[in-house]
Amino acid sequence: MTVVNAPSVDKQPGQARQRGRARRLTPGVVLAWLVIAFLAISVAFPGLLAHQGPLAVDPAHALQGPSLSHLFGTDQSGRDVFSRVVYGARESLPIGIAATAIGLAIAIILGFAAALGGRWADAVISRFLEVLFAFPSLLLGLLFVAMFGAGVGSLIIAVGIGSAPGYARMIRGQVIAVKHAPYVEAARILGHSRLRIMVGSIFPNAMRPLLVLGTLGIGQSIVWASALSFLGLGAAPPAPEWGAMLAAGRDFISSAWWLEFFPGAVIVATALAATALGRHLQRRMEGRLAS
Amino acid sequence: MTTPDLVSPAQADDLAPALGAGARRRHRFGRVLQDVVGGVIVLWGAATLTFLAVHLMPGNPAVAYAGGVGSHPSKALLAAVSKKYGLDHPVIVQYFIYLGNLLHGDLGYSASQQMPVASVIKLNVAPTAELTLGSLLLAWLLAVVWSLLTVRRGRIISSIGSGLEILTAAVPQYWLGIILLEVFAFHLGIFPATGGTGLVGLVLPSLTLAIPIAGFLGQVTREEFESALEQPYITSARARGMGDWGVRLRHALRHAVLPGVTLSGWALGSLISGAVIVESLFSRNGLGNVLLQGVTQQDMPLTIGVVLIVAVVYVVATIAVDILYQLVDPRLRSAGQ
Amino acid sequence: MTATTHDSNLLTATDLRVSFGSGDAAREVVRGISFGVRPGECLAIVGQSGSGKSVTARTLLGLAGDGAQVSGGLNFDGQDLTSLRERQWRAIRGVRIGFILQDALVSLDSVRPVGREIAEPLRLHRYGPRSARWRRVIELLDQVGVPEPEMRARQLPGELSGGLRQRALIATAIALDPQLLIADEPTTALDVTIQAQILGLLAQSKQRGRALIVISHDLAVVARLADRVAVMRDGLIVEQGPTQDVLGRPQHAYTRALLDAIPSSHSRGTRLSPADAPALRVAPVRKATVQEAAAPAPLLTADGLVKRYKGPDGKVRTVVDDVSFQLGPGETLGVVGESGSGKTTTGRIVLAVTKPDRGEVRLHGRPWTGISEAQRRPRRRYIGVVYQDPLSSFDPRWTVQRILSDALPAEAGGAAARTARIRELLHQVGLGDDLLDRRPLLLSGGQRQRVAIARALAPEPEIIVCDEPVSALDVSIQAQVLDLFADLQDQLGLSYIFISHDLGVIHHMSDRVLVMTGGRIVEQGDAEQVFGNPQHPYTERLLAALPKVDALSPAGLAGRPHPTTPRREPALERSA
């Protein structure tokens, strides 16, 4: 249809305003940055925040509730829960980041191959992804753990594999959308070679959402990884990994709520911070780049 | 818009009325048939994948089929398993034997449960179905009511509405379950912590599963709801004298739930994942609990059996959702694109 | 300015103001306008985008939007509308004031049958039992000229053609026969022939003694319908009065500029935009004669082009059917047709991005479509393109500089030479260097289209295919861009294939014209001949349906030639 668009606005106040909004830091984004700063310090200099080692036992002060000396209370062996949460960032964050990286790497290969590899490659890969979708991510992870046994290594790969199909489908869609974008056709009409169009236009534009996808994904990966740890399939209990702490606390669920509450709250805060940041990035990108 | 003439909606419109009712029904049937064929292919792929899983895992496949290293299978058992799965034949033959067994409904024997996998599943399917379907309904109810109440109700209410959705969507089920247990079971003592019978026992586990899903569905519904309320057809309806609730319920709602409906198949899969956690947390019987035991003990026949059943459920749910979608969206019932 | 505050007015607005936001961020969108409309009269409010005309329309229904502050007087049939509560408004909307929005595809709920949409005002305002409502729906559909109303009422908006859909939308608005009907761009996005039918339908309602307010960006559309015209700009009415006076003897410079900007038969060979608008030269730019020498060897020939597509239902449709034409150097070939006529596909075949199923295009006498992309690539620089929506045709990551640099051929030289050439290109399209570092998203619609033209010029093409290049632009911006096309042709000797649904634009721009419908060329020839003396009935219908500013009674329009006898005198006068 030769749609005669309603005459477009010949100024751009709307977009300019939207851009302003995207740039402005909302309280949510500030909060997210604070959480990230806290996590960064926890990973780099845990000693600055925690005054005890994550494994230092003190049986005399076992299972004490939160107090000024033990902000998050103590566990059954008298270990300081706050210190364990701080040191736990060193365990949980790398797991989340590594799993996301694995998931994205698999997804980029599959997504690009499907979108650019011709009809047959697309049909086969899309079917393969559909098969993977028939297994919910946690189940795919569980199947992997059943094959290779529990442990941090298989946990990372399991979560990575579990999240790959979702990313792959998104990347495939993005690449196809870019491939058919009018600006790619315009480049073709200018007489540019396939390689030049691929490298100059398709690839960078298709990769654009990856930063957002990755940021959002890290939060999800941490949640999934701790779920597996919570089920006793990841990091082993004395380790201060957040999910493992939750698993260990289950025995005291009716008496010592702080053992479950605080590690879980940190996981939620991390996931929310990653989500908020991812969305902020997305909005900024749209404000600056989207059509 | 420089759409090529091929996809010109004007042309598609002109075609639509030309199709009679018979053609439409045929079209609809064709679509379902396509779904079913696709589903069968997906299941075949899933079976192939599990076959590969057994053969790619370290160690002797016979041990895996016999129930894993942990169950210390006897020589006699290993020999019997080798014979049953044709392990002395070439891999391709093993593959067809494997598929043949599945087609006969033979999912193997679970060493950890001491009975055939099919029986284990039969025993545990009901409580999990009850839990997941109940949670899905509950999640939809929460998401729709919440959107109706909070979408575009001024800045403060709308922000609270979307903020809570983001929060609940980010809360892991295991933690939410723990919090609900702490508050409602141990602190207030309203609901039982574990087991429990009938509806009362189902409340906390269902809420645990439903709330994060509701948050997710709510976000999608809200976005659609907001954009629907900005559409010209809403202005048209209001210009006819319709009130705010009128346009919400009669016009915007249907548009708003459509994308959520497509996600329901995915949501069911996610709920089954969640069931593993919730059943473990609330000590409920069910497929999730059985699966966890299978994984922990590397009992491959049991793990694979449950995973394949979940794949079947997913495929059936996807087809059901597609049919449901056509019912909710009349545009697809006519010629469609 | 003559604000009519007459007792006989059905609706009177006095010093109407609408603003959004509060405090420092408050923006007054409507800044004190006064107008009135009597029963049986049609008032047209005309303005470009951002003039505040649509907000005005919505304000008359109390639908200006959340956070809109309305002040001033608004009197409807003796009732003060400004103090109404929501509940009272609802008793007026649909019953006493009806509202028609543009584009029924989005203004009707796409998941409800049109019959239910039409029945909605009846149900809301308690019009009889269900069966009576249904009878009324059928009656209404019949009244607005929808054939087979029983069947159509059960169909979804998406199953109706654009024209029927717009009729159904009108039926929803007149269901309860309101005293006042407000139509916001009722015919935008419709093909001209359908546009004429819809205008006729609105005229009927006027004849029944109902008052009508039509909002439009298009002076030509309202010319035949309106009794009075109000021209809006930046929230103010700059001029209003009887249609003949406003269009025939415009008093305000803005109205005159708007009228001059409309491309049509008698604007051929003249500038559309005022001389002080950004442009290269002020002097008349177009060659005044049609074709000087005997036709030289054609630059491009299309021979028997056929393109078929498989529809969603599996039926094969022929989108382009046996299309042949030639394009000479320095010539503009206009391709005009309604939606689905195959004109865009024809353009895409010329660009060699769509492969014809039969026939071929030859460039410089050598094969163009029948060869491999690798063979074609070195010659692609000879044909450029300008799309309707320039924004989507730019890589969203790139600045203007990068966009133009990317389009320069490899032999453009080193960095300094390239930068110089980019600046030259920008100047050529009337833009300054200050835009170099901007992203297209931050440019205005007109600036974007100029950048798109600069990009097309970069490889020094001989032909540019322009696919609806000005359809998305306001009329004054459109005028500047059309002038730019003419200037560039004059300077660079370019050939254009100019695709548009707008007969005025085509007539203004073209040396020769192809009229397409249903994939076929029904008429082809010299522009003057095709428009002045159409041979094919379809062309005649198109021309008859075309809304014209001067289609009014000749009395009111002194000095403007009659549309059916286009003459070149005005052009010659100006160029002399």
Beta pairing partners, C448: none
- The verdict on a CB contact (< 8 Å) between C340 and A191 is no
Closest Cβ opposite residue B292 in set A134, A226, A231:
A231
pTM of the model: 0.80
Note the pLDDT of residue A111.
Answer: 93
The answer to whether residue B3 is domain-embedded is: no
CA distance B188 to C255: 75
| C338 and chain A in contact, CB less than 8 A | yes
- The verdict on a CB contact (< 8 Å) between A219 and B10 is no
- In the predicted model, residues of chain C with pLDDT beneath 70 are 1-7, 265-266, 275-296, 311-313, 549-576
Sole residue written with tokens 């809304």 = C547
Give A-chain residues touching B277 at CB under 8 angstroms. 138, 227, 230-231
Nearest one of A94, A105, A97, A121 to A167, comparing CA atoms = A105
Ranges of beta strands (E only) in B144-289 are: none
Note the pLDDT of residue C442.
Answer: 84
Checking if the pLDDT of B261 tops 50, the result is yes
| C184 and chain A in contact, CB less than 8 A | no
The answer to whether residue B326 is domain-embedded is: yes
CB-CB contact of C401 with C437 (8 Å) = yes
Domain that holds residue B198: 24-334
Burial of B184 (0-12, 13-18, 19+ CB in 10 A): middle
| C340 and chain A in contact, CB less than 8 A | yes
Q: Average pLDDT over chain B, rounded to whole?
A: 83
Note the pLDDT of residue A21.
Answer: 47
The answer to whether residue B1 is domain-embedded is: no
pLDDT digits (tens, 9 = 90+) for B17-37: 334 445 556 666 777 888 889
Which of the four pLDDT bands, split at 50, 70 and 90, describes residue B5? very low
CA distance C243 to C42: 10
The answer to whether residue B213 is domain-embedded is: yes
Give C-chain residues touching A1 at CB under 8 angstroms. 162, 339-340
- Residue of chain C with shortest Cα separation from B154: C66
CA distance B103 to A250: 41
CA distance C68 to C85: 14
The Cα of A106 is separated from the nearest Cα of chain C by a number of Å equal to 26
Note the pLDDT of residue B23.
Answer: 55
Give B-chain residues touching C61 at CB under 8 angstroms. 239
Checking if the pLDDT of B13 tops 50, the result is no
- The verdict on a CB contact (< 8 Å) between C441 and A187 is no
Give me the numbers of helices (H) and strands (E) for chain B, helices first please: 15, 2
Query: What are the CA-CA distances from residue C61 to residues B52, C21, C147 (Å)?
Result: 67, 20, 31
Domain ranges of chain A: 95-290
Burial of C489 (0-12, 13-18, 19+ CB in 10 A): buried
pLDDT along chain A (291 residues), means of 10: 31 40 69 92 86 80 81 84 91 93 95 91 91 86 87 91 91 92 93 92 88 87 90 84 88 84 92 88 68 36
- The verdict on a CB contact (< 8 Å) between A288 and C439 is yes
The answer to whether residue B309 is domain-embedded is: yes
Closest Cβ opposite residue C121 in set B11, B19, B240:
B240
Query: What are the CA-CA distances from residue B307 to residues B36, B37, B61, B108 (Å)?
Result: 20, 20, 18, 13
CB-CB contact of C145 with C167 (8 Å) = yes
User: Based on the structure, what is the number of domains in chain B?
Assistant: 1
Domains and CATH numbers, chain C: 36-68+83-265 (3.40.50.300), 300-394+464-546 (3.40.50.300)
CA distance C28 to B245: 30
CB-CB contact of C12 with C73 (8 Å) = yes
Note the pLDDT of residue C123.
Answer: 93
Note the pLDDT of residue C294.
Answer: 52
Note the pLDDT of residue C550.
Answer: 57
- Tokens linked to A27: 């309280």
CA distance A248 to A230: 8
CA C41 to centroid of chain Cα atoms: 26
| A131 and chain B in contact, CB less than 8 A | yes
The answer to whether residue B12 is domain-embedded is: no
Give B-chain residues touching A269 at CB under 8 angstroms. none
Closest Cβ opposite residue B298 in set A132, A146, A268:
A146
Checking phi first, is residue C2 left (phi over 0); if not, alpha (psi -120 to 50) or beta?
A: beta
CATH superfamily of A95-290: MetI-like (1.10.3720.10)
Note the pLDDT of residue C289.
Answer: 43
CA distance C563 to C311: 40
CATH number of B83's domain: 1.10.3720.10
Size of interface A-B (CB pairs under 8 A): 141
Instruction: For Cα atoms B202, B205, B206, give the angle at the middle one, nearest 5 degrees.
Output: 75
- The verdict on a CB contact (< 8 Å) between A128 and B45 is yes
| A207 and chain C in contact, CB less than 8 A | no
Which 8-state DSSP code applies to residue B169? H
Identity of the residue numbered C280: L
Closest Cβ opposite residue C188 in set A4, A183, A201:
A4
Give B-chain residues touching C175 at CB under 8 angstroms. 240
* pLDDT: which is higher, C332 or B183: C332
Give A-chain residues touching B178 at CB under 8 angstroms. 246, 253, 260-261, 264
Note the pLDDT of residue C312.
Answer: 64
- The verdict on a CB contact (< 8 Å) between C397 and A208 is yes
Give A-chain residues touching C471 at CB under 8 angstroms. 2, 4-5
Give A-chain residues touching B1 at CB under 8 angstroms. 1, 3, 5
Q: What is the mean pLDDT of residues B62-81?
A: 81
Checking phi first, is residue C390 left (phi over 0); if not, alpha (psi -120 to 50) or beta?
A: alpha
